[in-house]
Amino acid sequence: MFGTPFDFTTFHAIGERIRGNDQQLVFGRGYDHNFVLNNPSTQPGQLNTAAQLFDPASGRLLTIQTDQPGIQFYSGNFLDGTLYGTSGRQYRQGDGLALETQHFPDSPNKPNFPSTVLRPGQTYDSTTVYQFSASGHHRGLPHRHRR
């Protein structure tokens, strides 16, 4: 994974490698991949940093912390220019970005993956914090799932 278009261990522009000749990116028309987090939380309530996005032009930084073992990265692969935002801007392929903290795809069929089984009477509880900062100001917005 190091040195490939899937290596996000250092900051770089997401679009920098998205249109290369990597077979997975060509077939998927961009990123739609689940990344295993290095240090998934094993303690209830403990959050680990899953991702950071930085805009050098504005100085904005988004830090995502979660208790989930993975994060799904989707890059708007099927935006085709037919949708327009409220400002009238056209949305084209690659104009979107979604980062969704979650368990791994196919977890119910993989006994070595963290379990996604929820038994009757049990409560599913997970926490993800989206923390925004710019010019040294921090504002954390917790996003909780409870089912």
Tokens 């119910």, residue? 108
pLDDT, one tens digit per residue, over 47-67 is: 999 999 998 889 999 999 999
Q: How many other β-carbons are positioned within 10 Å of the β-carbon of residue 58? A: 9
DSSP 65: E
DSSP H or E segment with residue 26: helix 23-28
From the number of C-beta atoms within 10 Å of its C-beta (0-12, 13-18, 19+), residue 55 rates as exposed
Question: Quick check: 47 and 129 in contact, CB under 8 A?
Answer: yes
User: The whole model's pTM is what?
Assistant: 0.84
Tokens 């032009």, residue? 57
pLDDT, one tens digit per residue, over 73-85 is: 999 999 999 999 9
Mean pLDDT of 17-28: 92
Going 85 to 91 to 94 to 95, the CA torsion angle's sign is: negative
Mean pLDDT of 31-47: 81
User: For the residues of 64-104, what is the DSSP string, one character each?
Assistant: EEESSSEEEEE--TT--S-EE-TTSPEE-TT---EEEEE--
Q: What angle do CA 92, 95, 97 make, to 5 degrees?
A: 140
Amino acid at the residue 13: A
pLDDT greater than 90 at residue 45: no
Beta bridge partners of 142: 129
